[in-house]
Amino acid sequence: MPLDLSESLVIGISATALFDLSKADSNFRKKIKKDPDTAIEKYRNYMLKHENDPLDDGTGMPLVKALLNLNKYQKEGEPPIVEVVVMSRNSPETGYRVLNEIRRRKLKISRSAFTAGESNVDYLDAFYVDLFLTTSEKDAQRVIDSNVCASAIVKAPPKINKHLAEDQVRFAFDADAVIFSEDSEIVNQTKGLPAFHENEDKSQDIPLRKGPHAKLLMKLAKVQERLPGRIEFSPIKIAIMTARNSPAEMRVIKTLRSWNVYVDEAFFLGGLQKSRFLKAFKPHIFFDDQDSHLDPAAGDVPSAKVLYPSGSPLTKMIKKKKKH
């Protein structure tokens, strides 16, 4: 009988998000600029030459390690709590280096997809993926637009806190345009902060619409139910770090209640820099939609950018700003 992973938390991760392949990537980009016709063959030769060389951690490695450790709580006869699928545009041959490193580290990853230059986004649903981490903006955008699963572009690996705890997985999420839809952020961007506060206070009993990472948050809540020590100490800890503050905070709490989602910690920062709080929380991954929050945090904690849907008014605003 085929394995059903619908009850498991499934993370799809590109090889470049799991391992630091920046040298190989840089090598390929230089060659493709000089001689596009031979670049692929030279990249293949480079990967074959270095296929036994160890790889450094990518941004997603601490998260993957900690998540895989959750499977120690798996009960007999139940599906795994977590599955990790490595997805790469490499060919199976050039992807050997990635598979070799997985084995060298004894990572319990058994599923992978190597598509030889073709997009691997079309296979996310087939693998039951709940979250796709990638270094490709194009791939992340396709996933966000298709609404198949949550997706984010990882920033460069942090220089500090590389060795995060592996006995608990910590997620930190921004609120608007990440957990929740971009509706309230559009009010903030177009009408200003006072209008945003007024709107959120008046609408506090109306649940916010689901954003691109809402399904992921709900899946994490379901996975928490399979784990010991719920609430007081759970092997999964979830925090929301939002620029919202009073009088816009109540709508967040009431929306999560309506979704039947328990969040361990919530920080309503009202303009304070998120990186200061992320250093203390030490997440294995921090999701936000704005580089102004991500860039200060990315040097300390693994961070990933959530894109707006292509048709979002926020996408149009950003494009308009770039033109000016």
Residue 24 has pLDDT above 70, yes or no: no
Range in 84-98, 102-116, 142-156, 302-316 with the lowest mean pLDDT: 84-98
As assigned by CATH, the class of the 9-154 domain is alpha beta
As assigned by CATH, the class of the 169-323 domain is alpha beta
DSSP string, 238-271: EEEEES--TTSSHHHHHHHHHTT---SEEEE-TT
Q: Do 13 and 87 touch, CB atoms closer than 8 A?
A: yes
For residue 287, what are its two tokens?
A: 């999701």
Give the pLDDT confidence of 45-77 residue by residue, as tens digits.
777 788 888 999 999 999 999 999 999 999 988
Give the pLDDT confidence of 77-116 residue by residue, as tens digits.
899 999 999 999 888 877 888 999 999 999 999 999 999 8
Give strand pairing partners of 134.
153
Which positions ≥6 away from 174 have C-beta within 8 Å?
240, 241, 242, 274, 287, 288, 289, 290, 293, 306
Count, in order, helices (H) and strands (E) of the chain. 13, 12
Domain ranges of the chain: 9-154, 169-323
Do the first three CATH levels of 9-154 and 169-323 match, i.e. the same topology? yes
What is residue 134's DSSP assignment? Answer: E
d(CA 46, CA 94): 9
Question: Given this model, what pLDDT does residue 37 score?
Answer: 63
- φ/ψ of 92, rounded to 5, equals -55, -35
What is residue 55's DSSP assignment? Answer: -
Quote the pTM value.
0.92
